[in-house]
Amino acid sequence: MTFETFFDKFDQFTDAPNAVAKLRELALKLAFTGKLLRKNSTGSELPEGWAVQSIEAIAQLITPGFACSRNHQVENGHVHLRTHNISTLGTLNFDLLVRVAPQMVDLQRSSIKAGDILFNNTNSQELVGKTCLVDCDYEFGFSNHITRIRLKEGFHPNFVVFYLTLLRNSGYFSRICTRWINQAAVNTDTLKLQKIPLPPLAEQKQIVAKIDELMALCDRLEVQLQARETQQAALARAALARFADAPTPANLELLFHPAFAVAPADLRKSILTLAVQGKLVPQDSNDEPAWTLVKQIVKHKASLIGEGKSRVSTFVLPTNAIEGEFDLPPTWFWVHLGEIMINRDGERIPVSKEVRETKKKIYDYYGASGIIDKIDNYLFDKPLLLIGEDGANLISRSTPIAFIAQGKYWVNNHAHVLDGISEDFLKFIALYINAINLEPYVTGSAQPKMNQAKMNSIPIALPPLAEQRRIVAKVDELMALVDQLEAQLATARTRASQLLDAMIAELTAP
C-alpha cells in the first residue's frame, strides 16, 4: 500500500480520534526511514547513502537570551520572542509579541535570519521541544527558553525541523527532558548530542518537498473535517430547537438520526429539560392536579410530626406564588423543595476511611456522588433520595447529583438524605434536580457546598403524581435510546481507530 492509497481511504477512519494528526506523524515517520520516496526501503535499517550525525556536528547552537519580565518591556523596543511565539505547526507565531529596551539585546549574538531553527528548550512537558523555521532575517531577541540552531552548509533546515517535530509529536522530548514543578527542559548539551538520520542534500530537498505536499493534503482534510463538524453542529442545534418547540415523536426521531450527529450529552440535557417543563408527555385531564398531591404531602408530614418521627415544618405556600422560570401546565404547581420533602440528614453518620478499612464489606456506603465503599452495617432500609451536599460535582455535574439509594445502606455527611410520599415521587424529584442548574444554591468556589437551607429553597415545578410516573417512564425509555446511540458512536470510533492503526502498521512494517 502506498501513502497516496492511504489518503484515498481517509473517509473510512474519519471517526478515529486525531486521525489527521496521526496522518501527519505517519508522513514524518516514513520520511525519516526512507520509505516516503524509496518504495523498496525496508525501514529497518538506514537507507543506502544516509548517515547518522549529531546536531552538534551539523549546526551551531546558541542560547543567549534572558527571561523577560514586565519590568523589561517597553513600548518601542526590540521584539523579544518567547516560547509562545513558536507554534506547534513549525512556524513563528507573531501573536502577543513583547518588546524590550534595545540595550538589553545583543543583536550580533541573538538576531535570527532565514534558515535558522528555533527550538523551545523549556516549557510544559507536553510542549517542550516545539521547533520552528525562521522564514527571513529579523532583528529580534529571544528568551533563554529558546535555543537557536544555525545549520552548516549542506543541510536543509526544513529537513531538520521536520525531524525535531517528529521527535516532539511522538513524545520523545517529553520522555528525555529534565522535569520539575510545572516545567520541563531539554538543555543545549542534550540537544547537541541528539542524533539525526541524514540523506544527501538532494534527497533531503526531495523529502522536504514530499512532506510539504502531504502536509498540504492534511491541511485540506482538516478543513473538510472542520466544515463537516460545523455543519453537523448547526443541524444538531436546529434539531434540538425543533424538538424543544414541538416535542413530537417525529421530531424526537430527528435527534437520533446520524445526519444530525446530536451529542449524547446534549440529548440527555434536552430530554431532562423538556421533562421538567411538562413538554415531554401529554397532560391528562383526568389526573388529579398537583395541588391535591401537595395536600396529601402536608397531611403525611403532619402525621409524622404527630408520631414524633419528624420535626420538619409542613408549611406549603397556599397559592401558586413562586416566581417560576417557565409557565406551568394547568395541573402543575410551584413549591419549594423543602416543603414537600422529609429531611433525614440528622440520621447520617460519617465513618473515616481508616475505620471502614477495618470493617467487613457488606452494605453500600454512600457519599456525595454515589457508592464509595462498603461497610458492615446500615443506617437506612428503604429507597431514599440522596442529593450531593458538597464537592466539585455540584458545578461540573459529571455524574448525577441526585440518585435513589436502594436496599440496606449507610450514608455519610456529604449527601443530603430525603424521604417523600412515595418512591415514584422520589424518582421524579431526582430527575428534576438532575435537570436544573444548581449554581444559584451553591456556596463557595474552592469547596462548593449546597447546605440544607439552600437546597430547601429550590423551586420545584410539581406535576400530578400520575404524570410524574409517565414522565419518569418516558425519560427512562429515551435515556436507554441515548445509551444505545452512545455505544454505537463508541463502536464506530473504535472500529475507525483499529482500521487506522492497521493501515499505519502495514505502511510502517519493515
Positive or negative, the CA dihedral 367, 341, 399, 374 is positive
Where along the chain do its domains lie?
A: 51-198, 290-463
**Angstrom distance (rounded) from CA 27 to CA 198:** 16
**Angstrom distance (rounded) from CA 251 to CA 244:** 9
pLDDT at residue 363 in the model: 97
Cell numbers representing residue 314 in the block: 409542613
**Assigned CATH class of 290-463:** alpha beta
| Domain pair 51-198 / 290-463, same fold | yes
**pLDDT one-digit tens code per residue, 121-158:** 999 999 999 999 999 998 888 888 999 999 999 999 99
**pLDDT one-digit tens code per residue, 217-271:** 889 988 988 998 888 889 888 888 888 888 777 787 788 877 788 888 888 998 9
**Angstrom distance (rounded) from CA 369 to CA 188:** 49
Whole-model pTM above 0.95?
A: no
**Residue holding cell 527550538?**
119
Q: Which amino acid is at 219?
A: D
**Neighbouring-strand partners of residue 183:** 180
**Angstrom distance (rounded) from CA 408 to CA 385:** 13
**Angstrom distance (rounded) from CA 124 to CA 179:** 9
Identify which of 249, 251, 253, 244 has the alpha carbon closest to the alpha carbon of residue 275.
Answer: 244
**Angstrom distance (rounded) from CA 226 to CA 234:** 12
Assigned superfamily of 51-198: DNA methylase specificity domains (3.90.220.20)
359 neighbors 378 (Cβ within 8 angstroms): no
List all residues 6 or more positions away from 86 whose beta carbon is below 8 Å from its beta carbon: 92, 93, 118, 120, 130, 131, 132, 146
Identify which of 456, 458, 452 has the alpha carbon closest to the alpha carbon of residue 416.
Answer: 452
| Residue spans of the chain under pLDDT 50 | 314, 316-319
91 neighbors 127 (Cβ within 8 angstroms): no
Identify which of 270, 281, 282, 263 has the alpha carbon closest to the alpha carbon of residue 242.
Answer: 270
pLDDT at residue 319 in the model: 45
